[in-house]
Amino acid sequence: MRILLLDKNHPFITEQLLAKNFILEEDFTSSYDEVCGKIQNYDGVIIRSRIPLDQNFLEKASNLKFIARVGAGMENIDIPVAEKLGIQLINSPEGNRDSVAEHVVGMLLILMNRLFIASNEVKNGIWLREENRGDELLGKTVGLIGYGNMGKATAKRLSGFGCNVIFHDILSDLSDEFATQVSLEELKEKAEVLSLHIPMTEKTHYLVNSTFINEMKNDFYLVNTARGKNVETKYLVEALKSGKVKGACLDVLEYEKASFEHLESENEDLQYLLDSERVIVTPHIAGWTHQSKEKLAQVIVDKIIASFC
């Protein structure tokens, strides 16, 4: 089988697939149109986020048997078209669930205990204790939306901090020793911390909007390590200003480029987030550890070999 690799990943992928007699070609620079012009020559494609695999692309890929996305999100693939064409879809959320979970906990601890703020103050000769009094995770009710790989890994960590973890998911009967499944209405009634672990779909686009925020009974902390457009930023900013949102931990932003490589636009709402001491922003790195790079690659390799060897 001939496989085209469109993004740089861990060399595990190339090494192990070559050992199984796959024919590999790397192309990390060609444009969308250039790749469309040759995609009919390949049986498989391994991607991250650089090039969208839309209907036009997939219809030109007349011999494509699988698409392997090194990561969790599949929104850059036209899934209905791929399924109609009989193309197998492979992803690897198992590979970075632990790094995402640790990132969630790390951001919350930093935000709620004002660690960056206090550290910078001391380094600049400012010694404030009362002003930097923290807020404990212990005893907080944490509401997760989405209970797949990322949600479950996050619940496991937070349960160890003595949190009451609840979650809402479109699938049923997912409760386990770390978290209890509830309706979305009950989650909005009880949650003091809200963490998103959902894909980007029509139904989850701007899920957290003005209505959602107003329906939350408690003032709450928001964590988003999912997709930037799951949250409507202008209403998040309004809620931060009013105090309804006590603080936000954002690894993803509405204004990211589709490839996640950098911000696509800037505006007053984004600037507010960047300037606020009640907001932590990181550059889409929650799933981006040294360990997850290896695990993501290994999961993809294992799934390809299981299906095509």
Decide if 207 contacts 198 (C-beta within 8 A): yes
Active site residue 227: yes
Torsion of CA 212, 217, 220, 226, to 10 degrees: -30
The Cα 163–Cα 137 span in angstroms is 6
The catalytic position among 48, 114, 157, 227 is 227
For helices 233-242 and 268-275, angle between their N-to-C axes, nearest 10 degrees: 50
Active site residue 168: no
Q: Residue 46: CB partners within 8 Å, gap ≥ 6? A: 3, 4, 5, 6, 7, 9, 13, 68, 70, 300
The catalytic position among 157, 168, 197, 284 is 284
**Rg of the chain taking only CA atoms, in angstroms:** 21
The label of the residue with tokens 């600037």 reads 271
Active site residue 262: no
Q: Which residues are identified as catalytic?
A: 227, 256, 284
